[in-house]
Amino acid sequence: MIFTIAEIGQAHDGSLGILHSYIDAVATTGVNAIKFQTHIAQAESSIHEPFRVQFSKQDNTRFEYWQRMEFSLDQWKDIKKHCDDVGLEFMSSPFSNSAVDLLEKVGVKRYKIGSGEVNNFLLLEKIARTGKPVIVSSGMSSFKELDATIAFLEKRDVQYSILQCTTAYPTQPKQFGLNVIQQLRERYKVTVGFSDHSSSIEACIAATALGAEILEFHVVFNKEMFGPDAKSSLSILETKQLVTAAKNISLAMQHPIDKNDNTAFKSLKNIFEKSLAVNKDLPETHRLTFDDLEAKKPKGFGILASEYEKVIGKTLKNPMKKWDFLNQSDINE
């Protein structure tokens, strides 16, 4: 079945209270996992890092923003416990080797590699040494760059999957890159998925129909909230709708229909298919024409409607009343 990841990212804006309320809300949507981001400002950034989106009126620098997004080890452990308690897999993307050390103490089953870290082989080496599987987001990478990353992971026997992702916030339909899903599967022969920033459910639904087995999408309480990803996110209601749709489509994909076998419809075919009848009173020896015929339900009370050509030009053995079913015994051969 489809594996769904609700990305909270920095939607909590550094507030533990808001973060924990997201866990409770996301638990009602049916997703499999909830994902955060683990930032340690000193390890991953500097005062020279520019803002991706100039959204903040309280942080003078991007570095200060990352500092405000930090949580302590004990706080992260409480976050994971809350996720465990409500049946969500706890996930968090690390953005430094120090963040990996922290997450190993918290306890994670797998690592999600953000688009900007795909070519950060230092971080990948750190994660590889944990022996845990990774999900790679291909956002800003060319196939040439991805090939190098995948070769790096395979050399270290890392189990991996790959998500098609477009690093644009919000992503427009012409940027979805749905065609890449199949290309990734064919190129790397692994589980593939789709990471979305479109602020709509349609892209992930389409991706599921195209064979994506992992879906990741940002979630926010309200798209007008403060933060860099709010306008690229789904609401809680949209998340519920997406999860239901994706599960149904995934189930359908696992049960292909054999169009050569229609035995399951035998009883319905008898109800809906039709038998030949005459549409007017006709005398004995009348020579049947196309304009004399009608098709009426159910099947089995007259000659099959599909065989109407066989009776045209034949003569009647007996007079027939309007709307009588036409059987082989009614016509002369």
pLDDT interval class at 56 (50, 70, 90): low
Same domain (yes/no): 234, 270: no
Same domain (yes/no): 209, 296: no
Which tokens belong to 35? 């994902």
Within 10 angstroms of residue 8's Cβ, the number of other Cβ atoms is: 23
Within 10 angstroms of residue 217's Cβ, the number of other Cβ atoms is: 28
pLDDT interval class at 54 (50, 70, 90): low
Check pLDDT > 90 for residue 224.
Answer: no
**pTM attached to this predicted model:** 0.85
Cross-strand partners of 314? none
Check pLDDT > 70 for residue 51.
Answer: no
Domain of 200? 3-253
Q: Identify the CA nearest to 40 among candidates 70, 61, 75.
A: 70
Residues 134, 135, 141: CA angle, nearest 5 degrees: 115
How far apart are the C-alpha atoms of 121 and 147, rounded to whole Å? 13
Cβ atoms of residues 59 and 232 within 8 Å: no
How far apart are the C-alpha atoms of 242 and 202, rounded to whole Å? 8
pLDDT of 68: 86
pLDDT of 187: 97
On whether residue 282 sits in a domain, the answer given is: yes
On whether residue 123 sits in a domain, the answer given is: yes
Same domain (yes/no): 247, 287: no
Burial 301-332 (b: 16+ CB within 10 A, else e): ebbebeebeebeebebeeebeeebbbeeebbe
Q: Which amino acid is at 171?
A: T
pLDDT of 13: 87
For 266-304, the pLDDT digits (tens) are 999 999 999 999 999 999 999 999 999 999 999 999 999
Same domain (yes/no): 126, 163: yes
pLDDT of 129: 98
Same domain (yes/no): 268, 208: no
Mean pLDDT score of the chain, rounded to an integer? 92
**Cis omega (within 30 of 0) on the bond before 298?**
yes
Q: Considering 184, 219, 253, which residue would you say is the last residue of a domain?
A: 253
Q: Considering 231, 253, 275, which residue would you say is the last residue of a domain?
A: 253
**What's 242's domain CATH number?**
3.20.20.70
pLDDT of 141: 87
For 180-215, the pLDDT digits (tens) are 999 999 999 999 999 998 888 999 999 999 999 999
pLDDT of 326: 98
State the average pLDDT over residues 158-173: 86
On whether residue 34 sits in a domain, the answer given is: yes
Bigger pLDDT: 79 or 40?
Answer: 79
Check pLDDT > 90 for residue 146.
Answer: yes
Cβ atoms of residues 212 and 245 within 8 Å: no
Same domain (yes/no): 161, 74: yes
On whether residue 43 sits in a domain, the answer given is: yes
How far apart are the C-alpha atoms of 241 and 147, rounded to whole Å? 35
Same domain (yes/no): 246, 100: yes
**What's 267's domain CATH number?**
3.90.1210.10
pLDDT interval class at 55 (50, 70, 90): low
Q: Considering 210, 233, 253, which residue would you say is the last residue of a domain?
A: 253
The answer to which of 62-76, 127-141, 143-157 has the lowest mean pLDDT is 62-76
The answer to which of 61-75, 209-223, 271-285 has the lowest mean pLDDT is 61-75
What is the SS3 assignment for the chain? CCEEEEEEECCCCCCHHHHHHHHHHHCCCCCCEEEEEECCHHHHCCCCCCCCCCCCCCCCCHHHHHHHCCCCHHHHHHHHHHHHHCCCEEEEEECCHHHHHHHHHHCCCCEEECHHHCCCHHHHHHHHCCCCCEEEECCCCCHHHHHHHHHHHHHCCCCEEEEEECCCCCCCHHHCCCHHHHHHHHHHCCCEEEEECCCCCHHHHHHHHCCCCEEEEEECCCCCCCCCCHHHCECHHHHHHHHHHHHHHHHHHCCCCCCCCCHHHHHHHHHHCCEEEECCCECCCCECCHHHEEEECCCCCCCEHHHHHHCCCCEECCCECCCCECCHHHECC
Count of domains for the chain: 2
Same domain (yes/no): 219, 269: no
Q: What is the largest CA-CA distance in the chain?
A: 101
Check pLDDT > 90 for residue 52.
Answer: no
Check pLDDT > 80 for residue 245.
Answer: yes
pLDDT of 44: 82
The pLDDT > 70 percentage for the chain reads 97
Same domain (yes/no): 37, 176: yes
Half-sphere exposure at residue 79, Cβ-oriented, CA atoms within 13 angstroms = 32
The pLDDT > 90 percentage for the chain reads 76
pLDDT of 53: 60
Q: Which amino acid is at 196?
A: D
pLDDT interval class at 218 (50, 70, 90): very high
On whether residue 146 sits in a domain, the answer given is: yes
Same domain (yes/no): 66, 100: yes
Sign of CA dihedral 176, 180, 182, 184: negative
pLDDT of 180: 93
On whether residue 44 sits in a domain, the answer given is: yes
For 1-50, the pLDDT digits (tens) are 899 999 998 889 889 999 999 999 999 999 999 999 999 888 988 788 67
On whether residue 132 sits in a domain, the answer given is: yes
pLDDT interval class at 149 (50, 70, 90): very high
Same domain (yes/no): 125, 75: yes
State the average pLDDT over residues 98-103: 97
On whether residue 258 sits in a domain, the answer given is: no
Same domain (yes/no): 144, 275: no
